[in-house]
Amino acid sequence: AQSVTQLDSQVPVFEEAPVELRCNYSSSVSVYLFWYVQYPNQGLQLLLKYLSGSTLVKGINGFEAEFNKSQTSFHLRKPSVHISDTAEYFCAVLQGGSEKLVFGKGTKLTVNP
Amino acid sequence: DTAVSQTPKYLVTQMGNDKSIKCEQNLGHDTMYWYKQDSKKFLKIMFSYNNKELIINETVPNRFSPKSPDKAHLNLHINSLELGDSAVYFCASSYRQNTEAFFGQGTRLTVV
């Protein structure tokens, strides 16, 4: 069964520092990869997605992620974070031919002044 | 206009009661889902419907019954509520396989 591992449950950083949130997945077959953000008491919003093509994907709010097939990773990065980026971030994988989106356990990003 | 809307946003009820959560999407999607987010923020799929037909039914107790009257609606009915059912329930929809899902704002269910 497909699984997603987000290696860090919590990531505290200072404002304007760079950040990387790590995500690894288990499947070796074709996959589609997503990062979602959940602000406090809100639903999930899509940050970015990888379906095919360029392995470097740019999303909203200055975030980007790189698909690395050999390392089965899809790490999320931002060069300079803002306090407003404080939220829970979820990596998710959709296996080709499946309709079941499998989520990681989430990484809580806290940006401090 | 809200793309995926759920009602109610908050639901507090006693053990043993029966309750429903409604979901509607105005995106023209043909696939809808229910996800459960537990107290540790873990998200897990419960059900998926495609064109009103059930296609995914994870190991969810029979007390949970989804109903899809049409492509734009997927409601969740829960019988004999238990304390462990307390969670946030998210409805989502997608256009087809291998595309991103759009989520509603969630329904926070608290069973007392």
Q: Where are the domains of chain B?
A: 4-111
Chain B CB within 8 Å of residue A83 CB: no
Cβ-count burial A24-55 (b if 16+ within 10 Å, e if not): bbebeeebbbbbbbbeeeebbebbbbbeeeee
Q: Of chain A residues 10-49, which have a CB less than 8 A from chain B?
A: 32, 34, 36, 38, 42-46, 49
Q: Quick check: A1 pLDDT over 80?
A: no
| pLDDT for the residue numbered B1 | 64
Residue-wise pLDDT for A67-77, tens only, equals: 999 999 999 99
> By the 8 A CB rule, do A76 and A91 touch?
yes
Residue-wise pLDDT for A10-60, tens only, equals: 999 999 999 999 999 986 677 899 999 999 888 899 999 998 888 999 999
Residue-wise pLDDT for B58-107, tens only, equals: 878 999 999 999 999 999 999 999 999 999 999 999 987 668 899 999 99
| pLDDT for the residue numbered B97 | 60
Which residue of chain A is at minimal alpha-carbon distance from B50?
Answer: A99
Q: Quick check: A102 pLDDT over 80?
A: yes
**Under CATH, domain A4-112 is a member of which superfamily?**
Immunoglobulins (2.60.40.10)
Cβ-count burial A88-112 (b if 16+ within 10 Å, e if not): bbbbbbbbeebbbbbbbebbbbebe
Residue B102 to residue A106, Cβ atoms within 8 A: no
Assigned CATH for B4-111: 2.60.40.10
Domain spans in chain A, listed from the N-terminal domain onward: 4-112
For residue B91 the two structure tokens come to 């409805």
